[in-house]
Amino acid sequence: MEKIIYSILSVKRNPEKLNALLVGMKGISGSDLCAVSFDEITAVVSDINRTNLIADRSNAIEYAGVIENLAQQFTVLPMRYGSIMESTGSIIKMLERNYHEFQQNLQKVENKREFGLKIFCDSEKLQAELRAKSETHTTTPAKHAPEIKNSVYRDWVNKKLKEHRLEELLLTYVDSVIVKITGYLDRLNAVNKFKKMATATNIIDAVFLLDKERKDALIQAVEILQNQYPGLNFVLTGPWPPYNFVEINIK
């Protein structure tokens, strides 16, 4: 029977606790959950029939719900939706082959949770502000003005140059916000990943990994940051299982 894997975790100290938890939970489409272990590493799985797996969002949400419940009591490595293997035997072999990588990754995320911070802006307004600021500084065009040819090509270059400078300004601004944020995060001892300009209005898409006890300190820090940047819209979510902080290439 094929198995779908929800999470990898370590239960060396209390396998009974995991079993008790699994009895009270259901997997996708009401299936029973069970633990498959190799030494100290355990995979939480349920039976699945690949051809019957209805691929819809409610299944994905159920799947994530199982991971969430496990993560509330254990340090877990969440699997991506749809991780299916042929049999219990193949899972045990997989756990054995990747044993050290799992151990290392579990250590890295032990007692930590992931938080997401998305920062949105009204990009047109922000660009206008940045442009206004920069124009007080830029004097170069005037100096060269007499030599500049007046052609459609030169006009085109000027237009592109303006866009380019604006983009650079925006990036510099985004970088400065990131520096501010990392200042606070360093104090919380957080690991972080930033993605700049995810979309035109989502200027920063960040994820942090930090001790779960520091959740309130993080909320406070974000509140302070929001007050410093009234033009931006901060959205903090979490705590999540460490989806963005598992880097394993399973063999």
Partner 1 sequence: MSENKILFNTGSLDELSEEIGKLTNNEESKLKLGPDNADSGLAKLVLTLVELIRKLIEKQAMRRVDGGSLTEDEIERLGETLMKLELKMEELKKHFNLNDRDLNINLGPLGDLM
Partner 2 sequence: MHNNVIDRSKDITILELLDRVLNKGVILSGDIVISVADVDLVYVGVKLMLSSVETMEQLRSGKSVIV
List residues near partner 1 by CB under 8 A: 61-62, 64-65, 68, 115, 118, 120, 140, 147-149, 151-154, 156-157, 160-161, 163-165, 198-199, 201-202, 205, 215, 218-219, 222-223, 226, 233-240
Among 188, 209, 185, residue whose Cα is nearest residue 108: 209
CA distances from 235 to 106, 193, 225, 232 (A): 28, 16, 11, 10
Region 203-242 residues binding partner 2, contact defined as CB under 8 A: 235, 237, 240-241
Choosing from 1, 55, 145, 152, the residue that interacts with partner 2 (CB under 8 A) is 55
Which entry of partner 1, partner 2, none binds 203, CB below 5 to 8 A by partner kind? none
92 versus 188: smaller Cβ distance to partner 1: 188
Site residues (CB under 8 A) for partner 2, limited to 93-112: 94
* Cβ–Cβ under 8 Å, residues 10 and 42: yes
Q: How far is the CB of 27 from partner 2 (least distance, A)?
A: 14
Q: Both tokens of residue 46? A: 């349920």
Check if the beta carbon of residue 18 is closer than 8 Å to that of residue 8.
Answer: no
CB of 117 closer than 8 Å to CB of 181: yes
Q: Half-sphere exposure (CA, 13 Å, Cβ side) for 58?
A: 4
Binding site for partner 2 (CB under 8 A): 5, 8, 50, 53, 55-57, 60-61, 63-64, 67, 77-85, 94, 116, 235, 237, 240-241, 243-244, 246, 248-250
